Structure 1
Amino acid sequence: MSHALDPAAQEADAALFAIETEIDWLSAVSPTGNHDRWTAFVGSEYRAAPALTYAPHATDFDALRGRLTELPLDDIEHPLIELLLREKRSELQRQIDLVALRGKDGFIQASVALFGAPDAVLLRQAREILENVPVVADPSDPVGAGEIAVAALAARDVYKKADPDFDFGVFVEADINSALMVNHGTLWIDADTKVPRDRVGALIAHEVGTHVVTRQNGRRQPLKQMETGLPDYDPLQEGLATLAEWLAGCLPPQRLRVLAARVVAADMAIAGRSLEEVFTCLHETHSITRHAAFDTAVRALRGGGLTKDAVYLEGLVDLLAWLGEGHDIAPLYAGKFALSQLPTISKLTEEGFLLPPALLPTHLTGEGCAARLDAARTTPITEFYSKDLT
């Protein structure tokens, strides 16, 4: 039996949804001119990179903060829903602080408050990966953004057969700070992206099969935060997305090494290291390719030091440990939430306030996926890569 949210919960939920869209912290802290910056860095013989620059933003932070304080949270009837929405309000306040401090002193502290910092255990795991996972060159036969977009649209058609309401935009744009990314349900592909042909399916599983599918399932939920993301949802999302690459049969060792390098880079950003110092460490000490080391350094230093990239490895480690306990993976696709919130999500689903996932990713049912999922439950993180790609 389903239950509707009470009016105060509906009002607060809708307002939080709208405010998060307006903040759009990811776009706000994404540097512009990255391709020119790389060219200049190469021209300096990898010694000096131009300063990071950003698109202007005109967000009225005080107005957003005022709207957050006016939410009728005290009037929400269900205590678990009230708790989730209170935590979401706090997270949005931290997002506002992050954007307001872009390029200023205090940004790194705002990032740590929002995304956390790598702890000693995660740093040790990252360094073990960099020391033990083999360095393997990418295979030849690369494909570009156009072919990736075609594959994404083909995946969309497959999912639409299972759910006619399934939809998302696909855009190829220059200078988007990532080879591929989903932002607010839209897939963006950098115009200069080139990836090995064998990686395309895994990337689609990551972006569409995880980020878009969970958003689509979240869109069906009475609680709109399941679409945009409950507090601290990033680690589980990125853990599921990286696992999707493994389940799709193409998680190369160099991909795992880059995720580990992101943890090292985040730690160096907190320590106040420069972009050039991060690049040198990743390339010369850890054998990350020059372009990947530069990209990782830029991502870690954007805004003044963004620790978000450490959650990829953190989320993967936590997810693998959870799977190792024998849990069913399907409930994790009901929307965007943190692994620690699963008991709350399950209880609200049992009570009829939330729905189980209507759509599961195709990488859970393809040939060999079941065996790869079983293997994931027992594979150490230093061996979590596709061995047939070495």
Structure 2
Amino acid sequence: MSGAVACRALPPVAAAVDEALVRLDAEIDWLLALNPVGIDRLWDAFEASGRRALPPLQYLDRSVDLHDVRERLLALPVDAIESPLLSGLLAEKQRELERQIELVRLRGTDGFINASLDLFGDVSPSLLTLAREILECVGPDAPLEADAGIDEVLDAAQGELDWYRERCPGFDCEIVASQELSSLMMVSHGKFYIDANIRVPRARIQPLLQHEMGTHIVTRHNGSRQALRQLEVGLAHYDPLQEGLGVLAEYLSGFLPGARLRMLAARVVAAQMAIHREGAAAIFDVLHRTHGLPTDDAFDVTVRALRGGGLTKDAVYLRGLRELVHYLREGGNFALLFIGKFALSHRVVLDQLVEEGWVTAPDALPRYYATLAESDRLDECRSLSVIDLYHKEPQA
């Protein structure tokens, strides 16, 4: 690793717009803006209601002036960018950021679902069918004790970061233990957040770290080495590939339990129900009673689907995994997916960017990719269907 060739600089106007979009992306930070706080209190209230009513979700106060951000975003001279290729990519990202601003602005209103659909798309019938097949066919796992807490997870995360730092100069991220997180782990704008109250089976620590650090942080690092810095923060519509890679990383690093695949399928079902404005009681009941998710998982998926008023992003995990499996089955190059954050639909454009000298090979590759055993697993993935992509027990 760390042998990448330096890129050719972008033309002046393109470079200025690219940098401005990176700054604006950081200001919007829609993911944190839609992260509910006080999850334990929500569950207590939901349980006290007989699992019939969920109190309004609470969020951190917005500190950004969305109107000002939008004005600065739309004032960028995209039409003056010297290269039509770069102009198209940066205009596409400008439009996506405007949709993200709208998503945050409409948080907690009736208009939020439409803004979410505009940004992340609908749940297609074929994806919903796949999700239901997984929930029907993939059985529950043998129980594993949640024997690891925050100290062990933080030590493992720091060890992972040290491994990359030794091999790739400039590789870095801030690791933050947070009391107010609706996920076990998440990456937002280069910061790696871990739930301070986390309890997981020890066998799941590395797979989860490979999802977050081995995918989201590695691609962010590689993107930061490119002339086009959108590859650091993400070209438009990059989420499905990122999340598909993250889930596949869990499989390739040795333990993607059936319960995890069922969780991704449940998120699709919950997103589809949220789109149709079904409430917490109905979503929880379908996930828990109909599909057999444990109460904590069913509640977690329910709350995630109702973030902001109905967030459809969670459907992209299974959608991205399905698209990635198809890409691998067609013989796609796995290592090139770590150049930065982009959508599979950008592959042809990326080839052109490489030809122009604005994009170069990845500086870092995931730690799990370095061993023969994981390479064998990757070959196996090229012939598996999504519904078979899980483990009944941790792999050696």
Q: Same fold (TM over 0.5)?
A: yes
Are the structure 2 counterparts of residues 277 and 141 from structure 1 closer, same or farther at C-alpha, using a change threshold of 3 Å?
closer
CA contact (8 A) 2:142 2:392 kept: no
- Inter-partner Cα distance in structure 1 for 2:193 and 2:73: 30
Measured after TM superposition, the shift of residue 135 of structure 1 is: 1.3
What does the per-residue CA deviation read over 1:200-244, in whole Å, with 9 as the maximum and x for residues that have no partner? 110111011101000000111111111111100000000000000
Find the aligned partners of 2:142 and 2:95 in 1 and give their Cα distance.
Answer: 43
Question: 1:164: how far off?
Answer: 2.2
1:243 is aligned to 248
Structure 2: distance between partners of 1:166 and 1:157: 9
Q: Specify the alignment match of 2:66 in structure 1.
A: 61
Q: Does 1:115 align with 2:120?
A: yes
| Separation in structure 2 between the aligned mates of residue 369 and residue 283 of structure 1, nearest angstrom | 34
Mapped contact 1:170–1:187 kept (Cα < 8 A): yes
Is residue 346 of structure 2 the alignment partner of residue 341 of structure 1?
A: yes
2:200 pairs with 1:183: no
Aligned counterpart in structure 1 of residue 106 of structure 2, from 93, 101, 106: 101
Paired residue for 1:256? 261
Q: Which residue number in structure 2 is paired with residue 363 of structure 1?
A: 368
Report the Cα distance in structure 1 between the residues aligned to 2:345 and 2:233, rounded to whole angstroms: 17
Q: Distance in 2 between matches of 1:63 and 1:158?
A: 41
Q: Deviations over 1:65-90 (max 9, x none)?
A: 21122111122111111100000000
Q: Which residue pairs with 1:324 in the alignment?
A: 329
Distance in structure 1 (CA, Å) of the matches to 2:147 and 2:45: 25
1:286 aligns with 2:283: no
Q: 2:95 aligns with which of 90, 94, 110?
A: 90
| AA aligned opposite 1:230 | L
Q: In structure 1, which of residues 214, 218, 221 is the aligned counterpart of residue 226 of structure 2?
A: 221
Aligned length: 390
Matches of residues 1-390 of structure 1 in structure 2 within 5 Å?
A: 2-389=7-394
Structure 1 alignment gaps of length 5 or more: none
Say whether the 8 Å CA contact 1:11–1:72 is kept in structure 2.
no
Could you tell which deviates more after superposition, 192-201 or 129-138?
129-138
CA-CA distance at 1:137 after TM superposition: 4.4
Give how far 1:158 is off.
0.7
Shift of 1:2: 4.4
1:72 aligned partner, one-letter code? P
Q: How far, CA to CA, are the matches of 1:127 and 1:191 in structure 2?
A: 33
Percent pairwise identity: 48
Give CA-to-partner distance per residue, 1:262-310, whole Å, 9 cap, x none: 0000000000000111111100000111000000000000100000000
Instruction: After TM superposition, give the deviation of residue 114 of structure 1 in Å.
Output: 0.4
Question: d(CA) in 1 for partners of 2:63 and 2:7?
Answer: 41
Scaled by the length of structure 1, the TM-score of the pair is 0.97
Displacement, 1:363?
Answer: 1.1
